Amino acid sequence: MRRIITFGTYDVFHVGHVKLLKRARLQGDYLIVGVSSDELNFSKKGRNPVYSLDNRMEIIGSLKFVDEVFVEHSLEAKRQYILETKADVLVMGDDWVGRFDEFKDICEVVYLPRTPSVSTTEISEVGKEIE
- 3-state DSSP call for residue 111? strand
Q: What is the pLDDT of residue 115?
A: 76
Q: Does residue 126 register a pLDDT over 50?
A: no
Contact 7, 33 (CB under 8 A): yes
Please tell me the distance from the alpha carbon of residue 11 to that of residue 85, in angstroms, as a whole number: 23
Confidence bin at 117 (pLDDT 50/70/90): low
In the chain, which ranges are continuous DSSP H helix?
Answer: 15-25, 38-45, 53-61, 78-85, 120-130
Model confidence pLDDT, tens digit, residues 44-101: 888 899 999 999 999 999 999 999 999 999 999 999 999 999 999 999 999 999 999 9
What does the chain come to in residues?
131
- Coil, strand or helix at 121: helix
65: nearest Cα among 1, 108, 7, 4: 4
- pTM of structure: 0.87
Q: How confident is the model at residue 34 (pLDDT cuts 50, 70, 90)?
A: very high
